[in-house]
Amino acid sequence: MPNTHTFRNRKGELVSLPEIPASKVKSAFGEVLERVAATGGVAITRHHVPKAVVLSWEEFESLNRARTESLASLADQFEGLLASMQSAGAKAAMATAFAASPEELGRAAVAAARRRRR
């Protein structure tokens, strides 16, 4: 019996991704394509080792959309952090940190760690 792998489909469901030998893909591509369209995808193996995955167009679009949304979200977060670091207070704190001695930095780190414990 072939191995199966699981992945989250575009609906968020955990589904099986069956393995199909490359020789079958080569000889019965139409059947494999129909299976991909019906199930969302298959893993293609060579000598029982997964080498590639074929996804349906819907699954591909979903992955691409998710990646794009993630990058946009990260870009927004970065812009927010960058803006907060440009404030006068942040600039003054950085100047103080760069001017501090190693002992002063150590005391500040210990104090910050103690505040987090509370």
* pLDDT value at residue 2: 56
pLDDT in single tens digits along all 118 residues of the chain: 456 688 888 888 888 888 999 999 999 999 999 999 988 999 999 999 999 999 999 999 988 887 777 778 888 889 988 988 888 998 898 899 999 999 999 999 999 999 988 7
Q: How far apart are CA 41 and CA 50, in angstroms?
A: 13
Question: What was the pLDDT predicted at 73?
Answer: 83
Task: Give this prediction's pTM.
Answer: 0.54
- List b or e across 96-112, with b for residues whose CB sees 16 or more CB atoms inside 10 angstroms: eeeeeeeeeeeeeeeee
Question: Which pLDDT belongs to residue 113?
Answer: 92
How many C-beta atoms lie closer than 10 Å to residue 43's C-beta?
20
